Structure 1
């Protein structure tokens, strides 16, 4: 009987933890491309999963004067980058910010971002109810050309 109570208690603990975890925005694999000296811009990449429909409406970082949400797209046989006002985050679906797609541009860098540096990012998300929440992320700087193999772009 004691064993059954232990199993039930453990199951309830796991379920309550899972329910709590479902209420939080999760950010996985955040990284920033390292820069060379005097470079004034770089990209930040990650996967964001929101528990309910939300939008990424702003990004801030102390390493940059400006942070913007950007999209890469093919137009007239040319790859073009443009700023977007916001990025939709459907409930429960991971949205990937990656090279060649949606990403965060860190502009007017205040110094070189070296491989291995931890770059703080503050993501501002807005729900359908217009309430905003912030998520603090620490992104590791990867060497130039340091995109994961699955995301590398071949020319």
Structure 2
């Protein structure tokens, strides 16, 4: 019985240590009533001229705001994009008016939906690096953020894909790069 208790206490201590450390890993940024959570981007293959960046934005205020733009020094420009199914075909298009964040709403930019399209990359984004950037909101103004660069096939800020997925995603990124040339 004593041994079980010690293991239980040790396990609980480990759980608490992990729980305490987890918030420190998540980077949040404030812009007025908005909270930006875990900005991240995917690593890109050598020679790629486009990449994707993702994050979540929560509006804690009483009025709507709008993400109107973004920038990073590593790209010529950044576009806010929508990706959705249209007649059985996945289509991507820029959202020139940005994305509205209603009061009490959390908007998630992710690889399967709305995202930031990093256009005209000057060099590959490398896994485990951090890229400084700026987000611009209609009402809250500009906020400096840092994008953590995850693996080429990451599906979230914390994911770690397997090699086969990474190779397949690298081919998709190269194909997408050719599609966006001159965009």
Q: TM class, shorter-chain normalised?
A: 0.7 to 0.9
Change (3 A) 1:77 1:111: same
Find runs of 4+ consecutive structure 1 residues off by over 3 angstroms.
21-24
Task: Find 2:81's aligned residue among 67, 70, 77.
Answer: 70
In the alignment of these two chains, the number of paired residues is 128
Higher helix share: 2
Q: Which runs of 5+ in 1 are unaligned?
A: 1-20
Give yes or no for the alignment of 1:54 onto 2:62.
Answer: no
Compute the TM-score of the two structures, normalised by the length of structure 2.
Answer: 0.65
Q: Which runs of 5+ in 2 are unaligned?
A: 1-29, 166-183
Compute the TM-score of the two structures, normalised by the length of structure 1.
Answer: 0.76
Deviations 1:79-134 (A, max 9, x none): 0000001100111211000111110000100111000111122111013xxxx510
Structural mapping, 1:113-132, within 5 Å: 113-127=125-139
For 2:45, the equivalent position in structure 1 comes to 36
Give yes or no for the alignment of 1:138 onto 2:146.
Answer: yes
Alpha-carbon RMSD across the aligned residues, in angstroms, is 2.2
Partners of 2:80 and 2:116 within 8 A in 1: yes
Task: Find 2:100's aligned residue among 67, 74, 88.
Answer: 88
1:138 aligns to what SS in structure 2? strand
Higher strand share: 1
